[in-house]
Amino acid sequence: MAQIPMEHGLLLAGILFVLGLTGVLVRRNIIFLLMSIEIMLNAAGLAFVVAGARWGEAGGQIMFLFILAITAAEVAVGLALVLAMFKKVKTLDTNVLNQLKG
């Protein structure tokens, strides 16, 4: 059984990351924004796991665990912010939140 080349795993991570980036840049709905960020973080984790699998080391998977922790914290705070925002401006459109305009 031929091995999977490492490039293919990394390419998958790259594609997912870029899709997530596209989502962040395109979507104005903040829920979609957060989901796209999840995709990007997940892609970054995939890249770590692939690199760990190349050497047969546990380090890559541990990095994924840390990313998981970051994601959990980010989602908790982010969704709380979404609720606060919705309470205040009655919409999920991020373009409304531009009071910091210079």
Q: Which of residues 28-87 bind another protein (CB under 8 A)?
A: 28-29, 31-36, 38-39, 42, 46, 49-50, 52-62, 64-66, 68-77, 79-84, 86-87
Shortest distance, position 72 Cβ to another protein, whole Å: 6
Count of residues in contact with another protein, rule CB under 8 A: 82
Write the interaction track for another protein spanning residues 6-25; mark x where CB under 8 A is met and - where it is not.
xxxxxxx-xxxxxxxxxxxx
Exposure on the CB side of residue 88, measured as CA atoms within 13 A: 10
CA angle 68, 72, 75 (to 5 degrees): 130
Shortest distance, position 2 Cβ to another protein, whole Å: 6
CA angle 91, 33, 62 (to 5 degrees): 140
Shortest distance, position 42 Cβ to another protein, whole Å: 7
89 touches another protein (CB under 8 A): no
Residues 32-42: b if buried by 16+ CB within 10 A, e if exposed: ebbbbbbbbbb
